[in-house]
Structure 1
């Protein structure tokens, strides 16, 4: 399965999600139909929340969502929930549905409803066809027959009527299972340890929630219910079968907590009573109020889902199986059509072939490329490179299409080092090959604060340094703005030596766990304990992708790669896994070493005895299936459960102990299963086949295990009788320390001679397969040299590799001009101008001629760009050095890019938001304790380095770096100023740049909202950009406003900072627009967004002008005249990316002043940077840190400031 086999003897059950629901479509333009793929989908909270946000939009979009999870129970539970929601047309059963889905102890009424519903589902699902004809089948489809059979099996377990001893035995089984889970939870968490991961659900107002969320968690695990009322709780006398494992050793995960999937920040932030999602009226809500908030949100989700379904706007498709295998199966259908099998297994632990036999796949009407691919936190278990290699070819080629990955398990001490470890190599190099870019890193901007994660790490508990660090990473296609309907990824040209060096470095990182010197000398303990996620077939899958992404001398590249590996001795097991690597390279058509090009019998004599004597036409590879008796497994199983580990497994072929020539080969690309073997054909011949009649009890049952793997045939011919085949555990510090005493130094669980017919079976293919698994890479039409409009040019990109590091050092983008008219201009000496559009894109323009795009797969350094002009050969070439990962934080002006995508503006890194669906924060009492979290949340906009610059203006910094720090400062004062928590409330702001002749724009703020999807706040605002032609029309209204109670508060900027404000305006307005762009939109006409950042020129198009709601602002002099020229926008804090720079140290905030992260260069109260006379600010005479513009401001702040004020030097 393209990953190491794992002995999953101890498994956790994740029935419900452990992170707050997010909108899966927030990065997509509004209205357009969206195709989504959810791998490791878990529960349906993200789907329900996404549908809810769509339902609150002006035109809810159609959604087609394909869901994959390896756990049958997860999918079965989801369909039970959705069917109950669809049936509950008036919402009368919300409470019972909540109980069934979220409680592991339920009352009689809930249990009765569950049994009736599952009995109903069973009666409607006797076949794929009958299911699709039902009312449920209109919304919920199964991708294949086996998935349907599996969920039916679970429904039968949930709903079967039992009586007498059968019922008593069943109840005891459920009760025992839940008791074991509770005991395990207690052994991990203990009685005193705090569990605070729930603060993510309360963010951004999370500080006050810690204690209550810990109490709710304890209540849930003690009683199996979210109910806190004793009387109600006492009714929950039944173990819920929806939380019980049907078979095997499975524990309910100790972090399970229903509240974690919801947004309960409204309980702690003061919310207007008229607002959606209104919360508690108390500053310290009772536990039942928090639960009520979650239940209320759940009710709004289910109502929206029914509405979306009724309007035929949603289709859900479910598949049960391995995420990576499913992705490759979808690739197979897209590449070769549905008639050819993918020859993949459904998952790692069964010999069931993966066949997508629903009619929507047979007719290819189901989506095969996607706008959104969400992979949950599968990178923790399957490896980021495995997942991105499998999913990138399935991502639509558009600016907005996104792959999301989450990480919960800590593998690095800091997030900064996370990406290159995940990618197994240099970030710009590997992402260029994948055709993906981590957007947050490229822009050094995030929309969620790292502050709540920092709080998790600073508080002792299972989520602190030994446990979790939550990261959600968005990966998009490299920026390639174009006015064409379909964008493609351009081929990257390499010389063979350079590409071989790149691939070699990736291989070393993939198998760093085999580098014993590094493992023992430098790896952190968290890395030593983590399981390997790659095998040699994983690397070959990556090679398949690279081959379709690049243009090079491929055979030469592969030979040079093998030569590099042959010269290396850093990987302890490189030689013993080499035959497996060469085998899979041969099987996938990547490269064939000489020994695999020759017929196996040409290498040795035809065996007269043994397992191969009857073979006539032996292929270069065959399958070996080893039968492992249960008697040999049981001691290993007992030891594994005792020590509580899940070791990897592999197979070993080696010479007999007495052989003159000793050899050993290991194979990690294996398939395991349990059951009984059924043979077909003549045993010792090429017609021999085996099938496995599966024992679904697996490890828990009594059947033998079978492990199957492909091997080069010539190895089996070395000693056809006496060579041995073993099931073993790979060596590592952890496995050797744990198992050497019981299994011996070889860590072998079972060994048989090749001639032992009762245990060793040799066939052409693995059980139930007729060929090897399909791995395709990019679809040919998606990757090719870029061709310009009207075919007037063709662009090629060539990478130069630093062979000492194996990293791409520079790109050369050559635009070959094909138009005869443009060729003539070039020959005649036409002047060439270049202009920067983004760190990925440049424009090359011929004077009096067309402009050509020069695009790069990764950001480049503008300071290194040089142009080569070949007037006779008719090409222009742009050469630039790649911005290394350490340089990306320096791309300071590249924060919120907006480009045209097929003629429409598209956001690249700013989420869309529906302002009408968000809770409105009540600011009528700014001094309320329930608003003080703002003063902790907002300063987390700055990274640690930025904080140093903010508090120490004398520190040297590039102008654009300083501009970004100051830009955040302006936002900080706008948010605090509007909230009134740091002085008088202000709702109108003038962005004033003395270098650019004064005020450039006026911002009107109407409300502050909770952006619950991104765990932050957002200002519902409108902007009036000032430009020369507009001023005569609005000058009287501006003067009226200046003389009214809404006189603007000034935010002073530098010229560089002003440019950031102007570049942000199109993104802020585009993300919340409810209007449509017009046919004469200036963005489309000019191809520029923003239109200009120059003084006196227009920034925004005119399409949204005057679209602010009539009740947007309270009436004041001049407002009506100004409103006609305003555009509505949604302003969010500009958080630093924790993947780029170290997050702010929360302790720095308090030591610098207080939890607000007070600005040491402006008045602590009103934000002014000078006193009324225009002179400097006065310092607090005691601490000399806090500053004030007047005695009145200092007096107003003293009550708060004295709590943190310390005499200078203390």
Structure 2
């Protein structure tokens, strides 16, 4: 497998999610069906929250495929969903069963009854399909159904266990509780409040202690006394029976607590938090039931598959909707059950490509590169908009804000071109998600911070370009020079495996070296990972075999010349084997058939690949168990030991059981019987790996041994040597020992459908009106810099096929070119037009045209766009793309205002908190520009836009008469005229993105409109108190681009019609010019109840379009975010320091400019002031 094998040591599983719920459809148009793949799905909070966010009048179907390697997670999820379907009491019975460690008798009886019911219904696939749950909840495989049925049976029977086993369970639960109660309080649930974390930190810590003391979220003493029965759904997992649930489990970490914290007029209590979470849970359940009762097209489908994410993705990629859907890939490590979806399931047409893939925080468990390798092949290809979400909570370096950029070990632009997707905030330069609470926590705690929540949205760059898919050449992958590509690929290889070298650690500074040593057991990649990356790149770039061989020749030259990676000699045989196994490249010597020598002497024929199986007696594993006692998780590998050399293999599969020889001596096979007791059994451990058979010819078989060992560069290896003075070998056996070492042919799957190389002269080009009048635009050729690390330029060649243009060019006609969108250039020659599209945003003004008049082609050379560079996505940072008559947002997520709680501004400190939050959308660079005076925002349209948003979001900002600004005009500084009014309505909590949304309405005041509405407009001017937002150079254009995105992102109650001006004109926005309307008319007069309640605003209600504004936050992995001390303002008067700002000496959370302001605020503040070390 492409993830190393670990001896698990202490096993934890997560019955309850530890991050706030998110909506999976936040990047889908309301009409777009959702085929959603959840890898490492965890509990069902995100599924329920996604359904809750669906519009009440919606018609699309959401189809969830939920994958988790822990069957207990899925068993609990089905329990919850079926209890909700049966309409049990959401906030009592269902809540208790799912969230409480201890149950009262009534809840326990309800759990047992439901488990027995599910066990009976899951007896056969057909019986489940015919059940009341079968149309909603579906099992992808019999193995998944059987595993969940087994867990439900365990839950139902636990109360009948012998007293000794029940006592052991109680003692295990008590030990975890004692540990949690003896350590410093945990406030993970508070993180869901985002910027308001500090308001509920103390009650969250208290609630964590209360939960582990009582096992419940109940505060009534008699009710607590009745909850004495251990909840069996927390008892069973892959680790067996006992208290293996994550010891920092918090029942409310998945709920949204910002509104609870921000809208309270008093200090928030534990009870407030629980009541808020229960209310939200009830809303989710009610919405779920509502969808089940609606038309069949809206009934969600929830598919379940038990399996490791890597195995499931590999299976889906290879098998899709085939009739025979069997595989030899095991469902997970430590299992032998092959991944196999039901034939009946396949006949239903299950999705094998998805427009949404969420990977939870798998990045922390298998590495970002592995996540991209397994997930990207399953994304629906362009032009359909699709999205991949990745998350991480852990970080490896000292600065978590820079950790994301380091995870790929290479330049993000180059990797984006190779992979075909890019982080949207990387190219847009902003994010609509706030992570300022994580940034502030890290700034306060420093290197002691254990977690930093990084959420990344990946999309295809071309899906953010309005012209890209109007011409066929746009969808073609780029071309790399084979020398440069081979060099880049080797440098990436070196970066991936340099940590195996002891000299790498010695070269680190002391602090980084200490952290690197602490993480040296956390190895998530091996040579197979890299080979699968090569396979992905090869397929994605459609590289011909001839060119690919030249790429790999350059790679091998560097591989052989570089002597710094000392472990290459050890893993070389595995690397070559994996390259052949995955059809990446086959070295010449493997083309010769292996000889029938030694163990192969009796075989009818010896295949290129064989599987080596080593049987490890159970007693030999005691050394690993000893290491695990030190909370280490040592990586494991297999070795071929010879008198002259050791060769190691990290792609190893393991399971407990017995291996038996089968077949004949001429055609050997192996059958495997897995130990049902697994870790608690007595059977040996069976480990296996794949090897090119010819490597066993290098030394006589009787001189070779096969071993299971710990890599000597891991932390566990150092502990083993230092603590015990023993070797790294766990067990070894002679290769000729047929009772301990088995050799069988390895079935080599056929190569994937070969990619047809697409040359620039033969690439297809679809004619659309005047967009390909000159000829054919070929694939973009990428040029890297001298070090082959960065992209310098991309070149597209336009082959001139129009005879008139050919003649004119030969006569000396000069072509012209201009950039019209982030990725597209408009080439004009002799009045004819050609759109030239690149696979990544470019800087069009720095183009070079190279016409070849005799050869009849034109080369268009442009630099690539990147952060802090001009043009590119800055031409329109807020694209709204019309794809198949559905509008797709690219850089902003959608919001359903109906589902977002309102922000109450009358509570103590609410205005100051809002002001501080909005101020945090600026980076330190932007704050510096603002401190320089108005020069900063005048020269930077995005900064000017952020300044405008700050005014809109600041209720404390008043007009000259001291009244809040609720009606704002966009005033163009160049003309001193305004053509757009924004009506500010209400503020809402954007719970999943930890920020605020302003619900408002936009009114374009064009000359035509003003001629019809002069009288009511005059009254609006007189009574409406219009304030002005002054826009400087480029500011008005940026607002015109932003407004369609703001209108589209909250569009849930109406649809674009056939008469939509966007479709007729073919551009969004309709115009970027002053005194012209950028919006279509489809949304006018929709959702305007708030307008109608205001007498002065009411006449304009039929003419406005609803919008949802958000702060636009700087991207913390691109630039520093967080106010400098000099940028802080006084909590009382909002003034600067006198002479400097000082923090409250007790809590360190509130700042004042002077002792006078602190004294004035003390009466209010003292009830909330808690010492910072509490």
TM-score (normalised: structure 1) = 0.88
Q: 1:888 to 1:529 in 2, by over 3 A?
A: farther
CA contact (8 A) 2:583 2:751 kept: no
Instruction: Give, in whole Å, the separation in 1 of the partners of 2:215 and 2:343.
Output: 38
Residue correspondence of structure 1 range 137-148 to structure 2 within 5 A: 137-148=134-145
Q: What secondary structure sits across from 2:779 in the alignment?
A: strand
Q: 1:258 to 1:869 in 2, by over 3 A?
A: farther
Instruction: Give, in whole Å, the separation in 2 of the partners of 1:424 and 1:1156.
Output: 46
Residue correspondence of structure 1 range 829-848 to structure 2 within 5 A: 832-846=815-829, 848=831
CA contact (8 A) 1:328 1:775 kept: no
Give the equivalent residue in structure 2 for 1:1172.
none
| 1:69 matched to 2:57 | no
Displacement of 1:380 in angstroms is: 0.7
Give the equivalent residue in structure 1 for 2:364.
380
Instruction: Give, in whole Å, the separation in 2 of the partners of 1:777 and 1:629.
Output: 44
Residue correspondence of structure 1 range 102-113 to structure 2 within 5 A: 102-113=99-110
Match of 1:265 among 252, 258, 269: 258
| 1:519 matched to 2:521 | no
Q: What secondary structure sits across from 1:1051 in the alignment?
A: strand
| 1:256 matched to 2:232 | no
CA contact (8 A) 1:1021 1:1129 kept: yes
Match of 1:231 among 209, 218, 222: 222
Displacement of 1:786 in angstroms is: 6.2
Instruction: Give, in whole Å, the separation in 1 of the partners of 2:601 and 2:999.
Output: 79
Q: What secondary structure sits across from 1:721 in the alignment?
A: helix
Displacement of 1:399 in angstroms is: 5.9
Q: 1:85 to 1:20 in 2, by over 3 A?
A: same
Residue correspondence of structure 1 range 1004-1043 to structure 2 within 5 A: 1004-1043=983-1022
Displacement of 1:1024 in angstroms is: 1.4
| 1:640 matched to 2:624 | no
| 1:504 matched to 2:490 | yes
Aligned residues: 1126
Give the equivalent residue in structure 2 for 1:545.
536
Match of 2:397 among 402, 407, 412: 412
| 1:1049 matched to 2:1044 | no
Give the equivalent residue in structure 1 for 2:332.
347
Deviations 1:983-1025 (A, max 9, x none): 6322101121221332232110111111112121111101112
Displacement of 1:850 in angstroms is: 4.1
| 1:391 matched to 2:371 | no
Match of 2:645 among 651, 663, 680: 663
Match of 2:154 among 151, 157, 162: 157
Give the equivalent residue in structure 1 for 2:479.
493
Give the equivalent residue in structure 2 for 1:305.
288
Give the equivalent residue in structure 1 for 2:602.
614
Q: What secondary structure sits across from 1:735 in the alignment?
A: helix
Q: What secondary structure sits across from 1:258 in the alignment?
A: coil
CA contact (8 A) 2:1137 2:1153 kept: no
| 1:173 matched to 2:155 | no
CA contact (8 A) 2:923 2:1121 kept: yes
TM-score (normalised: structure 2) = 0.90
Match of 1:1076 among 1055, 1061, 1065: 1055
Deviations 1:715-750 (A, max 9, x none): 223221121111011122522321114665751111
Deviations 1:216-268 (A, max 9, x none): 11111222111222222211101111111356377321331111101121212
CA contact (8 A) 1:27 1:909 kept: no
Displacement of 1:303 in angstroms is: 1.2
Displacement of 1:414 in angstroms is: 3.0
Match of 1:292 among 250, 260, 275: 275
Give the equivalent residue in structure 1 for 2:302.
316
Deviations 1:896-923 (A, max 9, x none): 2222222443210111111122112233
Match of 2:689 among 683, 693, 709: 709
Give the equivalent residue in structure 2 for 1:802.
785
Instruction: Give, in whole Å, the separation in 2 of the partners of 1:104 and 1:486.
Output: 58
Match of 1:739 among 705, 715, 720: 720
Q: 1:1058 to 1:548 in 2, by over 3 A?
A: same
Instruction: Give, in whole Å, the separation in 1 of the partners of 2:478 and 2:1070.
Output: 32
Give the equivalent residue in structure 2 for 1:1091.
1070
Give the equivalent residue in structure 2 for 1:241.
232
Q: 1:80 to 1:565 in 2, by over 3 A?
A: same
| 1:434 matched to 2:419 | yes
Deviations 1:857-879 (A, max 9, x none): 33333453223344565544332
Q: What secondary structure sits across from 2:330 in the alignment?
A: coil
Match of 2:555 among 557, 561, 569: 561
Give the equivalent residue in structure 2 for 1:425.
410
Give the equivalent residue in structure 2 for 1:572.
566
Tell me which moved more, 621-630 or 1124-1133: 1124-1133
Q: 1:109 to 1:613 in 2, by over 3 A?
A: same
CA contact (8 A) 1:57 1:914 kept: no
Tell me which moved more, 898-907 or 405-414: 898-907
Q: What secondary structure sits across from 2:12 in the alignment?
A: strand
Give the equivalent residue in structure 1 for 2:708.
727
Match of 1:945 among 917, 920, 925: 925
Displacement of 1:708 in angstroms is: 0.2
Q: 1:1114 to 1:829 in 2, by over 3 A?
A: farther
Instruction: Give, in whole Å, the separation in 2 of the partners of 1:679 and 1:245.
Output: 34
| 1:1124 matched to 2:1118 | no
Displacement of 1:827 in angstroms is: 6.6
Give the equivalent residue in structure 2 for 1:995.
974
Match of 2:436 among 451, 456, 463: 451
CA contact (8 A) 2:79 2:114 kept: yes
| 1:626 matched to 2:614 | yes
Task: Show structure 1 runs of 5+ residues with no match.
Answer: 271-279, 657-661, 1159-1163, 1165-1178, 1186-1193, 1205-1210
CA contact (8 A) 1:622 1:762 kept: yes
Q: What secondary structure sits across from 1:206 in the alignment?
A: helix
Deviations 1:194-223 (A, max 9, x none): 423323222343331111111111111222
Instruction: Give, in whole Å, the separation in 1 of the partners of 2:681 and 2:800.
Output: 68
CA contact (8 A) 1:651 1:726 kept: yes
Instruction: Give, in whole Å, the separation in 1 of the partners of 2:870 and 2:719.
Output: 43
CA contact (8 A) 1:623 1:762 kept: yes
Tell me which moved more, 574-583 or 592-601: 592-601
| 1:582 matched to 2:576 | yes
Displacement of 1:1095 in angstroms is: 2.2
Displacement of 1:289 in angstroms is: 1.9
| 1:356 matched to 2:341 | yes
Instruction: Give, in whole Å, the separation in 2 of the partners of 1:723 and 1:1013.
Output: 57
Instruction: Give, in whole Å, the separation in 2 of the partners of 1:487 and 1:5.
Output: 43
Displacement of 1:893 in angstroms is: 5.7
Deviations 1:1048-1082 (A, max 9, x none): 11222212233222221111011112322232333
Q: 1:513 to 1:120 in 2, by over 3 A?
A: same
Q: What secondary structure sits across from 1:547 in the alignment?
A: helix
CA contact (8 A) 2:427 2:866 kept: no
Q: 1:825 to 1:32 in 2, by over 3 A?
A: farther
Displacement of 1:299 in angstroms is: 0.9
Displacement of 1:301 in angstroms is: 0.6
CA contact (8 A) 1:427 1:885 kept: no
Give the equivalent residue in structure 2 for 1:46.
46
CA contact (8 A) 2:1126 2:1141 kept: no
Q: 1:67 to 1:828 in 2, by over 3 A?
A: farther
Displacement of 1:785 in angstroms is: 5.2
Q: What secondary structure sits across from 1:595 in the alignment?
A: helix
Q: 1:459 to 1:576 in 2, by over 3 A?
A: same
Give the equivalent residue in structure 2 for 1:680.
662
Q: What secondary structure sits across from 2:80 in the alignment?
A: helix
Deviations 1:371-412 (A, max 9, x none): 100000001111111111111121112463110000001123
Tell me which moved more, 135-144 or 338-347: 338-347
Q: What secondary structure sits across from 2:504 in the alignment?
A: helix
Task: Show structure 2 runs of 5+ residues with no match.
Answer: 1143-1151, 1163-1174
